[in-house]
Amino acid sequence: MKIDPLTSQPLVKKSEVNQERAKPERNAAEDSTDTSAAVTADRVNISSNSRLYQRALELATLAPDVRSEKVADLTARIAAGTYKVSSETVATSMIRKSVSEFV
């Protein structure tokens, strides 16, 4: 069967229609037995990089979200008034973060 590009309608010859009608119909049982012989077992191969990624993900999941000792130290330093941040460090970090968003 051909499809006419101008009308997008199938151009079917009369002989093709008669051939389709002449074909015997198959039932579902016949179809399933024909394909069962061709079925093979599926296999999955995982690369070593994928295994490393999976292990890293597991370890990251087990790690705590908050480092309590660091938070406690910073809280104490802020409360005591000894925590000082240089404006240059803050500016550098801000620029580095904004540039990394475009890369």
The total number of structural domains that make up the chain: 1
Residue 74 located in a structural domain: yes
Q: Is residue 7 part of a domain?
A: no
Contact between 83 and 74 (Cβ < 8 Å)? yes
Which residue ranges of the chain lie beneath pLDDT 70? 1-38, 103
Q: Count the neighbouring beta carbons within 10 Å of the beta carbon of residue 16.
A: 13
Domain that holds residue 77: 65-103
Is 75 among the domain residues? yes
For the stretch 32-58, pLDDT in tens is 555 555 678 888 887 888 889 999 999
- The pLDDT value given to residue 65: 82
pTM of the model: 0.32
Helix (H) or strand (E) holding 3: strand 2-3
